[in-house]
């Protein structure tokens, strides 16, 4: 099949927050084609790739006409004629065309949608699902899901300070069983909220709205929900995305909901106490992106038995992952393709983390679409973990459900990552 790129077409679509975003279709000369859709974050790291937004009054400044122009005027003419199977060359061309360190010229939204569409078209040309195209002959596993139960922080109008209270079904033996377990806990948590008269809808990623009076209360309730659903803590464990850059700066951490303020050492003490009291196996961005010493101290304190994920702190950058490893910061990296802007750069960061023996979590954003590419990346690259939000709202369910289809495609060869995907020797 002729895999030369024949056309690259962008269009404006709308994301799960009702904001404009970029979709790209790539058609190949042989007839195969692929599609990619750009997601968008709300609690972004300051070193992420920049989404090109139009500004001004229309669509509250979120317009993507500039990004679409970059696709039709700059990206399409350069990519037409290139081989879609050579993802590295395509992405290096995108990087060169952009010419900035953070995709500020073309827009990370334009480059990631294009990059995803190209890899999808190449898999389609091989008549393979993307996960299989990426895996080649290597054995791969379905990822361990990290499922949000309560949303908070920037995804819930700062109703509470901590951003994500999630569960990991570490005792599951298959992806299918893991989703059943997550669904049981999600439902149990909703019932507990209803019984307290505090159930009032869901946050941006589908987790229950955080109608709480402190940041610890949801931990208490989540622990009870796991028990109410009938699971032990070695079957379903808790994971936190603190997203501390949202409330921490210059070594001060201000919890608005509790009207309390801590320095870095006191804040690490608070989180460490939570880890002792509740069945927490993973913590993301425990300190702010500017708190390097804090990240080292936290990793030092708990890194043997708890996964310490860098999101805003590492922004899917291979260089940052390498530097963090040398400095003793984190033992896992969140992989958000749009945080860096191309599939190839995401893969390089993944490979760097793999060499270090780190945990690798492919992740969605809080603003999402029905695109399921990241599920294929997590499986085909065998990263072991996947985080796409809660267990409600179809932009989330589209991804969990795609994992079920992949598990079915693997048939009797299907393997599931389970808790061994965590970079810890034993569970706390
Ligand atoms: P974001 O949040 O997509 O709003 O940046 C997701 C996360 O922090 O993991
Ligand atoms: Zn995060």
pLDDT block averages, 10 residues each, the chain of length 428: 97 98 98 98 96 97 98 98 98 98 98 99 98 97 98 96 98 98 98 97 98 98 98 97 98 97 98 98 98 98 97 98 98 98 98 98 98 98 98 98 98 94 82
Instruction: Single out the residue in 127, 161, 184 at which a domain terminates.
Output: 127
In a domain, 133, yes or no: no
Which residue in the list 336, 368, 395, 402 is annotated as catalytic? 336
Question: How many structural domains is the chain composed of?
Answer: 2
Residues 304 and 417 in one domain: yes
CA 387 – CA 192 distance, rounded (Å) = 24
* Ligand 1 atom nearest to CA at 155: 4
CA of 136 to the centre of ligand 1 (A): 31
Tell me, yes or no, whether 428 lies in a domain.
no
The CATH number assigned to the domain holding 60 equals 3.30.390.10
Ligand nearest the Cα of residue 339 is: 1
Q: What is the domain range of residue 307?
A: 144-421
One domain for residues 337 and 393: yes
Q: Are residues 192 and 295 in the same domain?
A: yes
Last residue of a domain, one of 78, 100, 127: 127
pTM over 0.95, yes/no: yes
- Same domain for 289 and 211: yes
> Would residue 248 count as lying in a domain?
yes
Residues 123 and 186 in one domain: no
- CA–CA dist 365, 166 (Å, integer): 15
Supply 301's token pair.
């304190």
Q: What is the pLDDT of residues 318-333, one digit of tens each?
A: 999 999 999 999 999 9
Same-domain pairing of 149 and 95: no
CA distances from 187 to 27, 71, 165, 245 (A): 42, 43, 14, 30
Instruction: Report the alpha-carbon distance of residue 348 to residue 96 in Å, rounded.
Output: 17
Ligand nearest to the CA of 364: 1
In this structure, are 399 and 324 located in the same domain?
yes
The annotation status of 387 as a binding-site residue, yes or no, is: yes
Atom of ligand 1 nearest to the CA of 45: 5
Tell me the CA–centroid distance for residue 99 and ligand 1, in Å: 26
Active-site residue 205, yes or no? Answer: yes
| 227 within domain boundaries | yes
Same domain, 117 and 151: no
**37 forms bridges with which residues in the sheet?**
23
Residue 270 forms part of a structural domain: yes
DSSP state of 346: H
- Contact between 208 and 193 under an 8 Å Cβ cutoff? The reply is yes
- Ligand 1 mean position, distance from CA 354 (Å): 22
Q: Which atom of ligand 1 is nearest to the CA of 284?
A: 9
Looking at the domain assignment, is residue 137 inside a domain? no
195: domain CATH number is 3.20.20.120
Q: By alpha-carbon position, which residue is closest to atom 1 of ligand 1?
A: 41
92 and 154 co-located in one domain: no
* 241 assigned to a ligand binding site: yes
To the question of whether residue 277 is assigned a binding role by annotation, the answer is no
CA distance 402 to 263: 43
Among 23, 146, 205, 345, the one annotated catalytic: 205
CA 354, CA 77: separation in Å to the nearest integer? 35
Q: Could you tell me the distance, in angstroms and rounded to a whole number, from the CA of residue 285 to the centre of ligand 2?
A: 6
Clarify whether residues 407 and 273 are in a common domain. yes
Q: Final residue of a domain: which of 64, 93, 127?
A: 127
Ligand 1 binding pocket (C-beta < 6 A) is 41-44, 154, 163, 241, 243, 311, 363, 365-366
- 103 among the known binding-site residues? no
Please check whether residue 87 lies inside any domain of the structure. Answer: yes
Answer yes or no: is 282 a known binding residue: no
Q: What's residue 425's pLDDT? A: 73
Residues 158 and 214 in one domain: yes
Instruction: Indicate whether 132 belongs to any domain.
Output: no
In whole angstroms, give the CA distance from residue 65 to residue 120. 24
Q: How far is CA 245 from CA 44, 141, 163, 397, 406, in A?
A: 9, 32, 11, 28, 35
- Distance between CA atoms of residues 243 and 156, nearest Å: 13
Based on the fold, state whether residues 84 and 154 are members of the same structural domain: no
Least Cα distance to 377 among 79, 39, 135 occurs for 135
Q: For residue 393, give the nearest of 373, 375, 416, 369 by alpha carbon.
A: 369
């Amino acid at each position: 099949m002729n895999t030369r790129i024949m056309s690259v077409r962008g269009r404006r679509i709308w994301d799960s927050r009702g904001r404009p975003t970029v979709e790209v279709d790539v058609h190949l000369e042989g007839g195969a084609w692929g599609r990619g859709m750009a997601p968008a974050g709300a609690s972004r790291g300051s070193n992420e790739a920049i989404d090109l937004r139009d500004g001004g009054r229309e669509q509250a400044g979120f317009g993507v006409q500039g990004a679409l122009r970059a696709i039709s005027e700059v990206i399409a003419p350069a990519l037409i004629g290139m081989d879609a199977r050579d993802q590295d060359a395509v992405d290096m061309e995108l990087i060169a065309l952009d010419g900035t360190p953070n995709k500020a010229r073309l827009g990370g939204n334009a480059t990631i949608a294009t990059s995803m569409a190209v890899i999808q078209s190449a898999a389609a040309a091989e008549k393979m699902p993307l996960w299989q195209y990426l895996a080649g002959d290597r054995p791969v596993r379905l990822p361990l899901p990290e499922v949000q139960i309560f949303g908070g922080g920037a995804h819930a109008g700062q109703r509470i300070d901590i951003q994500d209270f999630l569960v990991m079904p570490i005792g599951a033996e298959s992806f299918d069983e893991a989703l059943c377990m997550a669904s049981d806990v999600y439902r149990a948590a909703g019932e507990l909220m209803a019984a307290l008269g505090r159930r009032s809808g869901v946050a941006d990623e589908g987790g229950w709205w955080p109608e709480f009076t402190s940041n610890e209360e949801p931990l208490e309730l989540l622990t009870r929900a796991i028990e109410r659903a009938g699971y032990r803590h070695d079957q379903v464990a808790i994971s936190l995305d603190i997203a501390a850059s949202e409330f921490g700066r210059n070594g001060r951490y201000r919890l608005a909901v509790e009207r309390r303020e801590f320095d870095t050492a006191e804040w690490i003490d608070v989180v460490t106490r939570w880890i002792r009291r509740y069945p927490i196996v993973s913590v993301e961005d425990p300190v702010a992106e500017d708190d390097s010493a804090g990240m080292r101290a936290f990793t030092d304190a708990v890194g043997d038995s708890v996964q310490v994920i860098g999101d805003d702190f590492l922004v899917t950058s291979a260089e940052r992952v390498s530097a963090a490893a040398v400095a003793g910061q984190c033992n896992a990296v969140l992989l958000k393709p749009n945080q860096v802007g191309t599939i190839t750069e995401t893969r390089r960061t993944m490979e760097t983390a793999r060499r270090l023996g780190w945990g690798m979590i492919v992740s969605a954003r809080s603003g999402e679409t029905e695109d399921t590419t990241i599920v294929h990346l997590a499986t085909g690259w065998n990263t072991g973990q996947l985080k796409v939000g809660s267990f409600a709202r179809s932009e989330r369910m589209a991804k969990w459900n795609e994992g079920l289809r992949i598990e079915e495609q693997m048939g009797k060869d299907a393997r599931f990552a389970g808790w061994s995907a965590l970079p810890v020797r034993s569970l706390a």
